[in-house]
Amino acid sequence: MIIDELYQKVAKNGHVCLGLDTDIDYIPSYFLNKYNNIEDAIFNFNKKIIDETLDAVACYKVQIAYYEAYGIKGLNAYKKTLEYIKSQKAISIADIKRGDIAKTAEMYAKAHFEGDFESDFVTLNPYMGFDSVEPYTPYIRDKEKGVFILLRTSNPGSKDIQYISTVDNDRVYNVVGKKINDIGKEYLGECEYSSIGAVVGCTTGFEGKEIRDKYKSTFFLIPGYGAQGGTAEEVANYLSNGNGGIVNSSRGILLAYKKVEDGEHKFEQCARNAAIIMRDDIRSYSKNK
């Protein structure tokens, strides 16, 4: 199952999920000027980053909004990026956060698990109900695909809905987490984690141990590290035996070159160095978890 592949990548390469949230403004001017169009500039920037980090990260998360913003040329760069990740035998997460139902959800599943935009995992928003997840399950069962469902996010507004108390004096996010964990048990890999995972922000690290203990078979996609204030020590609370989660970083790695003198001419090496520093930081806290 795809979750076993991801588990093994984490064991070998560390926990870093490199976010290819590639804004045109992130690309050094000298590199941008080499290309005649946005499509080639974005894709080749991504390709350089991927080539330098294959052995230092567990997977790549491609946020579709950054590509949609540039229209057809941007989506062509998105397509080519996903294809290149696959060609390198790396794992891709399409960060699409879809959350619709019925036939519409079937079409989203088809769009992102087949054809031009095929990825290994997608992110989903369950707040319309868990019938919005069901159309993806045939791909999980039969096509070696996986999903990460929003459980508790890292943004300040998460408290607007996710922290509301239920009639049982619990939190909404725990109701969601229990459902994710329960349906995920049908799709367990040999690693004892499910291909139905959850997005759990690490910016409120004090809750990490509780969440990890409650959802033992749920693999986590963990945003919030670095720029949003999350630390490796907090991240470690969401892991188990040094595994069970991947930790996203986008700008912190893509823009690492801006912290180095003349870094723009070696942006890919700067990205590699940042990924390794992040990997080692998390490993130092997670090895005993």
**Residue-wise DSSP of 118-145:** --SEEEE--TT-GGGTGGGHHHHHHSS-
110-122 residues labelled b (16+ CB within 10 A) or e (exposed): ebbbeeebbbbbb
Crossing angle for the helix pair 38-53 and 71-87, nearest 10 degrees? 20
Task: Give dist(CA 149, CA 177) in Å, integer.
Answer: 9
Distance of alpha carbon 272 from the chain centroid: 18
The three-state secondary structure class of 3 is helix
Active-site position among 97, 178, 179, 266: 97
Q: Please indicate whether residue 97 is annotated as part of the active site.
A: yes
**R_g of the chain computed on alpha carbons:** 18
Instruction: Assess contact for 66 and 21: CB atoms under 8 A.
Output: yes
Annotated catalytic residues are 97
